[in-house]
Structure 1
Amino acid sequence: MKTIVENIRENEKTPFLRGILIRSLLDAGLSFEDAYDVASKVRSELEQVKTITTEELQEQVSRLLNDLGEKDVLEQYCFPSVAPPRILVTDVGGSQRAFSRGRKSRYLQSSGMKTEKAEYITELIHAQLIAEGIGSISTSELGYLTYLCVRQEVGEAAARRYLVWSEYKDSDRPLVLLIGGTVAAGKSTVATEIAHLLDIVRIQSTDMLREVMRMMIPKRLLPVLHTSSFDAWKTLPIRDKKDRDSDQLVAEGYRSQAELLAVPCEAVLQRAVEEKVPIIMEGVHVHPDLLELAPDDADVIKVYVMLAVLKSKKIKSRLRGRDLDVPLRKAKKHLQNLKSIWSMQSFLLSEADRCDVPIITSGDREKVVLQVIQQVNTELAKHFTASARDVFGPVVDQLGPAALDRQWNENISLLQA
């Protein structure tokens, strides 16, 4: 049942959408993780509610924000009119939009900067622009000013990573990011957060591709497709299964299923590259060899990472968490096959090592996300040959070489000259 939000003052009725609430909370300064949790709780509480007024909805959200102790976010959410003066950012096409600290911070994080540092740099730039009375600024001016700020406040290496990321974002080169790993390695969670940070709208799960194939091909014709990847070996026509090594059987079953999934995976990647759209593909079937199936185009940025959980107890703990949070994931079945899952991970890690692709230990989520983004930036750097002038344009000439020696904020007044 869809809950209708009624704005009595404006005499309007709209359906409640979790995504819209998440965006409002992000704009108010809440982190993505907390915004997602708050919006999900609100949606859960409204499941049996047919109609709610905007005031009642605001009270409900305010209560949850208050429980989190987010007083600043609460004030910004309830009273957006008290926000500081708006700064308009104009892009190369002449379109304008308000300077968003959340968006700016995510952009900096996309260049491989830690969250705390990205937020600090964003606040620093925003406060200085407000102090200088800047009402409008171009994207190239803001970009170069940020580059100068990062260079002085963080360091040359961070400034170069920001330059590399800015050059990529202004290009139309497609990014293909493949995230592999066994059950409970955190692939979906990491992929979702990275997509949010990198502003990627296309995420493809290999599990979903498998479901589509299962609808097309009945079990009696292709039984290996209709089972979990860790016990696919049970459907293979092997006579001496009892005499075979169990790890080898698990690997053969996995290979058989992964080879079938390679066909739709290749098609999805091909389509994304043709449309020049960045894509994240995640799933247990994302074998290192899949990187070779991505279109071999000079403009394509191809990145592969394997997520690993190095302790079986941790996998067990995560699977039990799934059983509580997402019952449909059939965590109990996975727990009963923990030995096979562990065996499959050992095979995947050996394959990653054979193909010389990075393995990232799945632990603290923020740390894992940062490591994946850094891997993306490392690959981008291999294709980078531009200068600051190439990336930010005439503003570099306007401020001249002395811009690098001045305090970064001293360049703001010169931009308006």
Structure 2
Amino acid sequence: MEEREITIVKGGRQTPFSRGILAQTLAQAGAGPELAHQIASEVRAELAAEQRFTVEEEEVLARVREKLVKKDAIAVGRLDKWRILRESSEPVVVLIGGATGVGTSTLAADVARRLNIQSVVGTDSIREVLRHAISPDLLPILHKSSYEIKRQDVRVPVEEEEAVLFGFREQAARVSVGVEAIVERGLKEGTNLVVEGVHLVPEIIPRRFLDHPNVCTLVVHLQNENVHRSRFYIRAMGTAMRRPAEEYISHFQQIRQIHDYIVESAGRAGVDAVENLSIENTSDEVVEIVANRVSGIAERAERKASPLLMGANTPRRGVPLTRTKRG
């Protein structure tokens, strides 16, 4: 026998009940996939048994919370904060910094998916634009990978062992000009975006962004050097890397210098540092950090009229941006 359609109502708008969309909503809020599908099926079955074929979205979510609190109380808090983020009319900007190989790009994509943010920008892409505008003769450090900078590229007296960090800071400062422009425009136009990359050094990011309630800044790290090193081989197997893993490994000491500097910079700037041992757990932690950061302004803001359960793929404002490969 064919199931009768159940209609979800919110703010005068209607949409068919979908177990898939409800389960995806729960999963994006941090519930496990199996639990999310179980709760979605149970809610749908209860409504059908009660012959409730037209129901307010708030009632559906109340039933979800009642079941979720018994099985994953932590996920309930995440769901509430995630709903605020999803429904808020306030722009949200997430800045994720971290050294090459720690997983900022993978994490940024997952966080953007969880928060339904369509714009993800890599600082490598910003650097690539600057490379086309500024010649290597004028600014050689811009045309090198962050970990490949040598003393002769810096053009000021500096010891060889200090050249990598000195050059990296110079490169990050140049790229930060482009980051500032993108973030400023996002805040001005109400565009939600995630920016990720090695150049997002907390002490180089303008203080007005670190203090801005709509901007959440954090860095990702890997404390264990062996785990960090292994990530390059894993990435080489799973993706079509422009460079072989051995090239990164040959510069691993320089990459770790930059890694440690970024983490230390986060500590001095009062920015959260998250260890990325598991993308699922790290993404949960980052979404919670973002929710805690912006929930205050989101709660005071006027909420959108679109239903939360209309579809997790309905994008928040923003236009997808093309990203270059990391290097």
| TM-score normalised by L of structure 1 | 0.64
Question: Which is further off, 367-376 or 144-153?
Answer: 144-153
Structure 1 segment 47-66 matched on structure 2, within 5 A: none
Match of 1:135 in 2: 53
- The question of whether the paired residues in 2 share the 8 Å contact of 1:176 and 1:278 is answered with yes
- 1:252 CA drift (Å): 1.4
Distance 1:153 1:176, change over 3 A: same
2:11 to 87, 92, 107: 92
Distance 1:391 1:271 in 2: 22
Identify unmatched segments of 5+ residues in structure 2.
Answer: 306-327
1:17-416 matched pairs, under 5 angstroms: 84-94=3-13, 96-151=14-69, 154-155=72-73, 158-234=75-151, 235-242=153-160, 246=161, 248-289=162-203, 290=205, 292-294=207-209, 300-324=213-237, 325-383=239-297
Change (3 A) 1:187 1:92: same
Q: Deviations over 1:1-50 (max 9, x none)?
A: xxxxxxxxxxxxxxxxxxxxxxxxxxxxxxxxxxxxxxxxxxxxxxxxxx
Q: 1:256–1:124: structure 2 CA closer, same or farther, 3 Å change rule?
A: same
CA distance in 2, matches of 1:105, 1:301: 28
* In structure 2, C-alpha distance between the alignment counterparts of 1:252 and 1:240, rounded to whole Å: 8
Distance 1:188 1:142 in 2: 35
Of the structure 1 ranges 211-220 and 141-150, higher mean CA displacement relative to structure 2 is found in: 141-150
Q: Of the two, which has the highest radius of gyration?
A: 1
Inter-partner Cα distance in structure 2 for 1:110 and 1:269: 25
Q: Which has the higher contact order (CA 8 A, sep 6+)?
A: 2
**CA distance 1:367–1:85, change in 2 (3 Å):** farther
Displacement of 1:152 after TM fit? Answer: 5.3
**CA–CA distance in structure 2, aligned partners of residues 391 and 146 of structure 1:** 21
- Unaligned segments of structure 1, at least 5 residues: 1-81, 394-417
Q: Match for 2:201: what amino acid?
A: H
Asked whether the equivalents of residues 84 and 295 of structure 2 are also in contact (C-alpha less than 8 Å), the reply is no
Structure 1 residues 309 and 264, CA gap change in structure 2 (3 angstroms):
same
Cα distance in 2 for residues equivalent to 1:308 and 1:280: 18
| 3-state SS, counterpart of residue 326 of structure 1 | coil
For residues 167 and 319 of structure 1, what CA distance do their matches in structure 2 show?
A: 37
Q: How far apart, in 1, do the equivalents of 2:29 and 2:198 lie?
A: 27
Distance 2:22 2:243 in 1: 35
Q: What is the CA-CA distance between 1:356 and the residue it aligns to? A: 1.8
CA-to-partner distance for each residue in 1:180-221, whole Å, 9 max, x for gaps? 111111111111112112111111111111111111111111
- How many positions carry a matched residue from both structures? 301
**Aligned CA distance change for structure 1 residues 179 and 115 (closer, same or farther; 3 Å):** farther
SS of the residue corresponding to residue 195 of structure 2 reads: strand
**Partners of 2:198 and 2:125 in 1: CA distance:** 12
Contact 1:308 1:362 in 2 (8 A): yes
Could you tell me how far apart the structure 2 residues matched to 1:267 and 1:83 are? 54
Contact 2:94–2:194 (CA under 8 A) maintained in structure 1? yes
CA contact (8 A) 1:114 1:370 kept: no
1:203 aligned counterpart, secondary structure? strand
- When normalised by structure 2's length, the TM-score is 0.80
Are the counterparts in 1 of residues 22 and 40 from structure 2 also a CA contact under 8 Å? Answer: yes
Higher helix proportion: 1
Query: Which string of whole-angstrom CA distances, capped at 9 and with x for unpartnered residues, describes residues 73-132 of structure 1?
Result: xxxxxxxxx9854333234252x3333333323333444444454444333323322332
Look up the SS of the partner of 1:133 in the other structure: coil
Match of 1:65 in 2: none
The DSSP-based 3-state class of the residue aligned with 1:89 is strand
Residues 46-77 of structure 1, C-alpha deviations (whole Å, 9 max, x = no match):
xxxxxxxxxxxxxxxxxxxxxxxxxxxxxxxx
| Distance in 1 of aligned mates of 2:158 and 2:30 | 50
Question: Whole-Å Cα distance in 2 between the matches of residues 90 and 339 of structure 1?
Answer: 57
CA distance in 2, matches of 1:261, 1:349: 19
Deviation at 1:359, TM superposition (A): 1.4
